[in-house]
Amino acid sequence: MSDEENQWKDRSTPHWHLYQRQNLINAANGQLPPFNTDPTKLEREARAKLSQNGWFYASSNAGQSHTHHANRAAFARHRILPRTLVGTNRRETRTEIFGRSIPAPICFAPIGINEIYHAQAELAVARVAGRLGLPYCLSTAGSRPVESVGEANGEEGVRWFQLYMPHDDELTMSLLKRAWGAGFDVLILTTDTWQLGWRHDDIATGNYAFYHGRGASLGFTDPVFQRRLKEAGIDPETDPKAAAQKWIDTIWHGRSHNWEKVKWVLQQWKTLTNGKPFVIKGIQDARDAEMAVEVGCDGVVVSNHAGRQIDGAVASLDALEGVVAAVGGRTTVLFDSGVRSGSDVFKALALGAKAVLVGRLWVWGLSIQGEVGVEHVMRSLLAEFDLTMELAGCNRIEDIRRDRVRTVEEMDGKQKAKL
C-alpha cells in the first residue's frame, strides 16, 4: 500500500499495486469497490447474476469435477518461499512474449459465447485487455465477429486468435484470413476439445447455447460458412438454431485432427502471416510437447481446459514442470487452468511458465458488472501479483525461479530427513 508520492519514477511498468491503495482511499471517502474479488465470493456473486444456463456454462466441469479440484489442490501444495530485505522498489512486471513486450505475464484466455454472460460480450473484454496492454485471445466460439473484437481491442492491442479447426479447409483459411486482417497475429490451436467432455449439469438441463441459436457469430459473418448454410438450405435469419448447430458441428463434435493436419494449418498460418507465431493449447504430456516442437510450433499452452474435458486428469500445474523440462529451452511454454490469484501466477512462473492465461476470473467479473467488472477483476489480479513479487523479494520476472517455491512433499521430506 505504497504512498504514490514515494515511488521510483523510473519503473517502466505500471504501479499495479497502487490499485490497492486507490480502493482503500476511495472507501475512506465513501466509495467502495464494485465488488469483492475474493474468488469464492466473486463466484458466488456471478452465480446470483447469471441465469441457470449461464451459470452452468461458466462453472460446469467434466464428471465429478475431480480435475477441477486437482488444479486447485496443486496450487495449494506449492508454497512460496519469500526472500526479505531485497530492495524491491524498482521491481518490474514486464516480460516479452512472442516478440512483444507486455506489462505483466498475464493473458486473457479464450472463452466462447461471452454474450451469455453480458450483453457487451467479447467487446467489453477486448476493450479492457487493450487498456491494460495484456494479450487478448478470441475464441472461434466467440459471440461477436472477429473484426468487431479487433476494433474494440484498439490499435495498440495485443491480439491472439484461438482456432477450433473445421474439417473444411476453405472455412479454416477464411477464419485465418479474417483473424489476420483484424490484427490477430498469434494463432493458438486448441487440441483438447474436438468433443465436449461429459458435464452433468449441462446435459441434465439441455444447456448448450449453440443448439439454441446463440454463439455462432464468427460463423454467421464468415463468407465461406454463409455459402455452406446456403448450400444446406439453412437461413440463419429464420432458423438460427439449425444454423448455429451446423456451425458448432463443423468445428467440434467428435472429429479430431492429427499431427499431419497440425503441420498443414501451421504452414498455412506461417505463409499467410509471413511467419507469425503458432501455438498449441491443451498439452499435458511432455511427449506431445516434444512433438509440437518437432513440427515447428512456437509455443505450447499447458492446459486441461480448466477441468472441463476429462474427469480425473492430471492437474495442469503438476504437468507443467515435465513439459518445461522437455521443451522449455526450445519453445515458449504458457500455462492455463485453475489460476485464481496473484500468488497462483507467481507459482506457475516459478515452475517454468513464461506467462499464464486467466479465464474464469474475468468471466465472473463480466457477469457481475460488464466491462467495469472485467477491469476490476483484472486490475485486482495485477495488483496482487505485483504485491506478491514485492513481498517475495523479486525485482524482475526472471527472479521468479523454481527455488522460490516449495511443495508440501518437499517440505515433508526435508522434515523427515532432519528427524
pLDDT for the residue numbered 1: 54
Asked whether the beta carbons of 78 and 351 are under 8 A apart, the reply is yes
Yes or no: say if 383 and 17 are a contact pair by the CB < 8 Å rule. yes
Find residue 209's DSSP bridge partners: none
Cα 98 versus chain centre, distance: 16
Contact 314, 284 (CB under 8 A): yes
Residue 161 is predicted with a pLDDT of 98
pLDDT at 309: 77
CA torsion 247→137→375→6, rounded to 10°? Answer: 180
Q: Are 390 and 23 in contact (CB under 8 A)?
A: no
Instruction: Give the Cα separation of 401 and 389 in Å (integer).
Output: 12
Cell of 130: 487493450
**Domain assignment of residue 24, yes or no:** yes
Q: Is 193 within a domain?
A: yes
How do residues 388-416 score in pLDDT, each as one tens digit? 999 999 999 999 999 999 988 765 555 44
Residue 13 lies in a domain: no
In the prediction, which pLDDT does 90 show?
A: 84
Is 10 contained in some domain? Answer: no
Sign of the alpha-carbon dihedral angle for 373, 379, 384, 385: positive
Q: Which of 248, 415, 291, 309 is nearest to 68 (CA)?
A: 309
Paired strand residues for 186:
160
Q: Which run of H or E residues covers position 158? A: none
- 212 catalytic? Reply is no
Distance (Å, whole) CA 165 – CA 261: 10
350, containing H or E segment: helix 342-350
Q: How many domains in the chain? A: 1
Q: Is 6 among the domain residues?
A: no
Query: What is the per-residue pLDDT for 418?
Result: 38
Q: How many CA atoms, within 13 angstroms, populate the side-chain half-sphere of residue 60?
A: 22
Q: What's the N-to-C CA distance of the chain in angstroms?
A: 41
Q: How far apart are CA 366 and CA 350, in angstroms?
A: 29
Could you read off the pLDDT of 326-354 as tens digits, one per residue? 998 899 999 999 999 999 999 999 999 99
User: What is the Cα–Cα distance from 106 to 342, expressed in whole angstroms?
Assistant: 10
Distance of alpha carbon 72 from alpha carbon 66, whole angstroms: 10
DSSP designation for 314: P
Answer yes or no: is 8 within a domain: no
Show the cell assigned to 286.
Answer: 511432455
For 199, phi and psi rounded to 5 degrees?
-120, 105
Could you give the CA distance from residue 385 to residue 346 in angstroms, rounded to a whole number? 7
pLDDT of residue 293: 97
Q: Which residue has the cell 477491469?
A: 375
The pLDDT value recorded for residue 39 is 94
Q: Which parts of the chain register pLDDT below 70?
A: 1-9, 253-254, 410-419
The CATH number for 391's domain is: 3.20.20.70
Interatomic CA distance for residues 324 and 340, integer angstroms: 22
CA dist 280 and 61 (Å) reads: 22
Phi, psi dihedral angles at 374 (to 5 degrees): -60, -45
Q: Does a structural domain hold residue 11? A: no
**Pairwise CA distance, residues 77 & 14, whole Å:** 31
Catalytic annotation, pick one of 17, 68, 305, 376: 305
**pLDDT at residue 3, as a whole number:** 57
pTM of the model: 0.94
Tell me what pLDDT residue 419 has: 31
SS3 165: coil
The range of the structural domain enclosing residue 390 comes to: 18-418
The pLDDT, as a whole number, for residue 416 is 44
Chain-centre distance for alpha carbon 298: 17
Is residue 78 a part of any domain in this protein? Answer: yes
